[in-house]
Structure formats: structure tokens, C-alpha cells
Amino acid sequence: MSVTITDPELLAALSRGDVELKRPDGRVLGKFIFEPDGKLPPGVKSPFTEEQLVEFRKQRTGRPLADILKDLRERG
């Protein structure tokens, strides 16, 4: 399930770090763990070095999305 948050104050609070979410009666509902974009979960290591990742980002190969979608429509 996905929840979209539009409240700027809540977004700011969640962006500051780990946050404990509580019910109105004070019981803990869960914990939100802030993960900056592109960060792997704890204990997970990339099989690539940072230098390899930099090189991968420079590569611009592949096919245009329009061509891929056209091929998929033709198969269906």
C-alpha cells in the first residue's frame, strides 16, 4: 500500500530522520526510517565500486521508450 503525504510540516518532520508514528492514544503504530534517495538498506552492499557506478551513469545506450512500447503493442 502507498500513502501520499501532502502536508508540508509532516514532510519536513519525516525528512529530519527516524520518526516514531503514534496513534492518538499514544500507542506506537510504527517507525518511519528516513532513507535518502539512492541509499541501500542497512546490510546491503552494491556489487559495483563507486568508480563503476560513475562509469555506468555516463553510458547512454539502449532504445527509445517509444520504440519499446511499439514493440510491446505489436506482440500483444
Q: What is the CB neighbour count within 10 angstroms for residue 2? A: 3
Give the C-alpha separation, 71 to 11, whole Å: 40
Give the C-alpha separation, 15 to 43, whole Å: 22
* Segment 17-65, tens digit of pLDDT: 888 999 999 999 999 888 777 777 778 888 999 999 899 989 888 888 9
Give the C-alpha separation, 13 to 1, whole Å: 21
Tell me, yes or no, whether 20 lies in a domain.
yes
Tell me, yes or no, whether 27 lies in a domain.
yes
Tell me, yes or no, whether 41 lies in a domain.
yes
Its pTM stands at 0.39
Residue at grid coordinates 526510517: 33
- Structural domain boundaries enclosing 68: 8-75
Tell me, yes or no, whether 3 lies in a domain.
no
Beta bridge partners of 15: none
